């Protein structure tokens, strides 16, 4: 069930669902945890052999796989733990400073 919670902080007590039930499954995807990162994973498509090791070890469901191929890292949710870089057998993921990456983006 779609649930518009954009204004929830201003809701009167009688607008909330009874018993604090959440009827929109998986709606935490509206909450972006990417802002927690201090390190950013950079995925090198050249080195990647699509073994998907990063995918099975990611704590934040942030490895996007399409047609059996590692496509990209979902930076909206990635918290920058670096497990993917640590476990990658081909060193195809490098962790870089998030602030520097943001500066680069804003240039």
Partner 1 sequence: MAIENKSTVAYVGTDAVAEAMRQINPDVVAAYPITPQTAIVETFSTMAANGLVDTEMVNVESEHSAMSATIGASASGSRAMTCTSSQGLGLMWETLYIASGLRLPIVMPNVNRALSAPINIHCDHSDSMGARDSGWIQLFSENAQEAYDNTIQAIKIAENSNVYLPVMVLLDGFIISHAIERMELLEDNKVKDFVGEVNTPYSLLDPNNPVTVGSFDGLYGYYFEFKKQQEEAMKNSFSVIKEVGEDFGKLSGRSYEFFETEYMEDAEFGFLVLGSAAGTVRHHVKCLRENGIPAGMIKLRTYRPFPGKELVEATSHLKALAVMDRSDTFAGGMGGPVFMDLRSAYYDYDKKPLMTNYIYGLGGRDLSVELVQQATEEMQDIVRNGEVKQTVNYLGLKE
Partner 2 sequence: MSTRLKDLSKKDEILKGGHRLCAGCGASIAVRQILKGLPDDVELVVSNPTGCLEVSTTIYPYTSWNCSYIHSAFENVASTLSGVESAYRSLKKQGKTDKDYRFVVFAGDGGTYDIGFQALSGALERNHRMVYVCYNNEAYMNTGIQRSGATLKGAWTTTSPHGEESYGKAENRKDLTSIVAAHDIPYVAQASISNWRDAVKKAQKAFEADGPAFINILSPCHRGWRYPMEQTVEVAKKAVETCAWPLYEVENGEYNLTGKVKEKKPVEEYLKMQGRFAHLFKKEENKEVLDSIQQYIDEKWERIKYLAGEE
Query: Smallest Cα–Cα separation from 35: which of 52, 60, 10?
Result: 60
Residue 13 binds which one of partner 1, partner 2, none, with CB within 5 to 8 A depending on kind?
partner 1
Looking at beta carbons only, is 20 or 56 nearer to partner 1?
20
Looking at beta carbons only, is 2 or 107 nearer to partner 1?
2
Question: Cα 11 to the chain's mean position, in Å?
Answer: 29
Q: Which of 2, 13, 56, 89 binds partner 1 (CB under 8 A)?
A: 13
- Please tell me whether residue 9 binds partner 1 under the rule CB under 8 A: yes
Piece in contact with partner 1 (CB under 8 A), picked from 8-16, 47-55, 72-80, 94-102: 8-16
Residue 102 parent element (H or E): helix 98-106
Q: What's the sign of the alpha-carbon dihedral 79, 75, 58, 40?
A: negative
Residue 1 binds which one of partner 1, partner 2, none, with CB within 5 to 8 A depending on kind?
partner 1
Query: Smallest Cα–Cα separation from 41: which of 98, 107, 87?
Result: 98
What is the spatial distance between Cα 38 and Cα 71, in angstroms, rounded to a whole number?
22
The footprint of partner 2 (CB under 8 A) covers 3, 5, 8, 20, 22, 24-33, 36-37, 51-53, 55-62, 65, 68, 74, 76-77, 79-83, 85-87, 95
């Amino acid at each position: 069930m779609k649930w518009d919670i954009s204004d929830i902080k201003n809701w009167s007590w009688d607008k909330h669902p009874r018993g604090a039930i959440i009827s929109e499954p998986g709606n935490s995807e509206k909450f972006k945890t990417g802002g927690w990162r201090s390190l950013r994973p950079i995925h090198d498509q050249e080195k990647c052999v699509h073994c998907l090791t990063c995918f099975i070890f990611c704590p934040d469901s942030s490895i996007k796989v399409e047609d059996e191929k590692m496509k990209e890292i979902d930076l909206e949710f990635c918290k920058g733990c670096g497990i993917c870089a640590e476990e990658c057998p081909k060193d195809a993921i490098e962790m870089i400073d998030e602030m520097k990456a943001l500066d680069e983006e804003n240039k």
